[in-house]
Amino acid sequence: LWVVRGSPPTYVLLWGIILNTAMGCFLRIFKDVETNCSIYTLWLQARQVCGIIHRAATSWNLSYFVSKWASVWETYAKVVKHMQQQTEKKVMLSGIKPSGDLTLGSYLGAIKNWAARAEEFECYYFMADLHSITVRQNPADLRRRTLEQLAQYIACGLDPEKNTLFIQSHVHQHAELGWVLNCYAMFGELSRMTQFKDKASKNADNINGGLFTYPSLMAADILLYQPDYVPVGEDQKQHVELTRNIVQRFNGIYGDVFKMPEPYIPKVGARIMSLTNPEAKMSKSENEDTGRVCLMDDPAVIMKQFKRAITDSDRENCVRYDPEHKPGVANLMNIYAAVTGKSYADIEREFDGQGYGVFKPAVGEAVVECLRPIREEATRMMADKAYLESVYRAGAEKASRVAQKTLRKVYKKVGFVAL
């Protein structure tokens, strides 16, 4: 310190080193918390530190320096936290299994709403290929569908610049955290999952362990990204509830490791039922549903599907919204409303006095026009594999960075030796 005080050239040199180191530290920490901090705040921080160093140096008082240093870190942590809260958008994450082609139901019920969210939320969407092998898949189909799904997401308006789009198996942390969480999900809990019971009864010859532990992998998918919201359909709510139980259990043992996620059931977004069975959700799997319309279907196929859509056996042959007594018509109205933006009353007026013979093809036409640009864009992208690869590479990179941070924390908490 006497050097600092005594000789101006050394003084300048030392200041240079100190400033540089301080800035370096801050930048590293800022990078680590991934906060979009302004250079100005950095500068203020650096100035505060330098001021303290300066005063310590000029007053020859080392203990002053040491005591202030602690308070600098404290302020610093507060600033970082505050900025994080201010600048960080709420995080949202969702996945779809590429085990069937995306349908009109997936589009109107989910994906369509995703595009508009990117401004408000930090969004992660992934192709849940790890999940899809709980039921036997044809490898070539799985590969094609996974890429096709990505192309369709983008064609539906999910901008890869604004959303993180990735393929689940590219981010190895999912499988790793999945294993850990398996050890915090209870046998009884997993046995109560209705999806497991349902799938087990449909795949009696292949009730594998993966089908059973599916929800702990899903919990890992979610928790790796510490999301605030998980947009899911009604059918997945139980899995999100289980995830919440795991969070409570895990955090109860190890402290605040995971953020508690909320299921996010969008207000808008229709629940689209099968065209041949309006009691059941439009399903992605071909063998389960003959009344489905896929995003990549030919217009002629779509028209055929709508023309043979089930309406109701009542005699009135009129377009009226009555989901309880006329579920078939209500479903078609729902679809028509979702693709045209018209209200039920508008639709009733539009088809007043006309029967299902006019209504059904009209819905078909509207759907064809709604899906046309999506199909064309997705087809174009499927021909441009290099582009798709650049998207999923960038997505995997971003996702793994975030996922690794959580996984590292978890490994440390449960007692694994760090490498």
CB of 217 to ligand TRP, least distance (A): 7
What gap in Å lies between CA 295 and CA 381, rounded to an integer? 14
Is position 117 an interface residue for ligand TRP (rule: CB under 6 A)?
Answer: no
CB of 391 to ligand TRP, least distance (A): 19
225-264 footprint of ligand TRP as x/- string (CB under 6 A) = -----x-x---x--x-------------------------
Query: Long-range contacts for 37-41 (Cβ within 8 Å, ≥24 apart)?
Result: 37/80, 37/83, 37/87, 41/79, 41/83
CB of 203 to ligand TRP, least distance (A): 14
126-145 footprint of ligand TRP as x/- string (CB under 6 A) = --x--x--------------
- By beta carbon distance, the residue nearest ligand TRP is 95
| Residues composing the chain | 419
Q: At what angle do helices 39-59 and 62-87 cross, to 10 degrees?
A: 170
Q: Nearer to ligand TRP by C-beta: 154 or 240? A: 240
- Kindly give the pairing relationship between strand 121-127 and strand 90-96: parallel
Environment class of 256 (CB within 10 Å of its CB; exposed 0-12, middle 13-18, buried 19+):
exposed
Answer whether 108's CB lies under 8 Å from 338's CB: yes
Question: Which residues inside 265-294 make contact with ligand TRP, applying CB under 6 A?
Answer: none
CB of 94 to ligand TRP, least distance (A): 5
Q: Nearer to ligand TRP by C-beta: 75 or 194? A: 194
Is position 174 an interface residue for ligand TRP (rule: CB under 6 A)?
Answer: no
What gap in Å lies between CA 150 and CA 384, rounded to an integer? 12
Q: Nearer to ligand TRP by C-beta: 35 or 164? A: 164
- Contacts with ligand TRP: how many residues (CB under 6 A)? 14
Query: Long-range contacts for 288-292 (Cβ within 8 Å, ≥24 apart)?
Result: 292/103, 292/104, 292/105
Task: Retrieve residue 340's tokens.
Answer: 């045209």
Is position 222 an interface residue for ligand TRP (rule: CB under 6 A)?
Answer: yes
Element (H, E) at 76: helix 62-87
Is position 221 an interface residue for ligand TRP (rule: CB under 6 A)?
Answer: yes
CB of 19 to ligand TRP, least distance (A): 46
Q: Nearer to ligand TRP by C-beta: 237 or 308? A: 237
Q: Nearer to ligand TRP by C-beta: 9 or 209? A: 209
Q: Nearer to ligand TRP by C-beta: 218 or 339? A: 218
Element (H, E) at 166: strand 163-167
Count the Cβ atoms, other than its own, within 10 Å of residue 348: 15
In this chain, which of 150, 158, 167, 218 binds ligand TRP, going by CB under 6 A?
A: 218
User: What is the secondary structure of 261-329 as a DSSP string?
Assistant: -EEE--SSS--PBPSS-TTSBPPS-GGG-SS--BTT--HHHHHHHHHT----S-S-------TTT-HHH
Question: Which residues inside 54-93 make contact with ligand TRP, applying CB under 6 A?
Answer: 93
Is position 45 an interface residue for ligand TRP (rule: CB under 6 A)?
Answer: no
Q: Nearer to ligand TRP by C-beta: 50 or 118? A: 118
Is position 97 an interface residue for ligand TRP (rule: CB under 6 A)?
Answer: yes
Q: N- to C-terminal Cα distance for the chain?
A: 39
In this chain, which of 80, 95, 294, 330 binds ligand TRP, going by CB under 6 A?
A: 95
CB of 196 to ligand TRP, least distance (A): 11
Element (H, E) at 411: helix 385-414
Is position 102 an interface residue for ligand TRP (rule: CB under 6 A)?
Answer: no
Element (H, E) at 39: helix 39-59
User: What positions carry a catalytic annotation?
Assistant: 199, 281, 284
Binding site for ligand TRP (CB under 6 A): 93-97, 128, 131, 218, 221-222, 230, 232, 236, 239
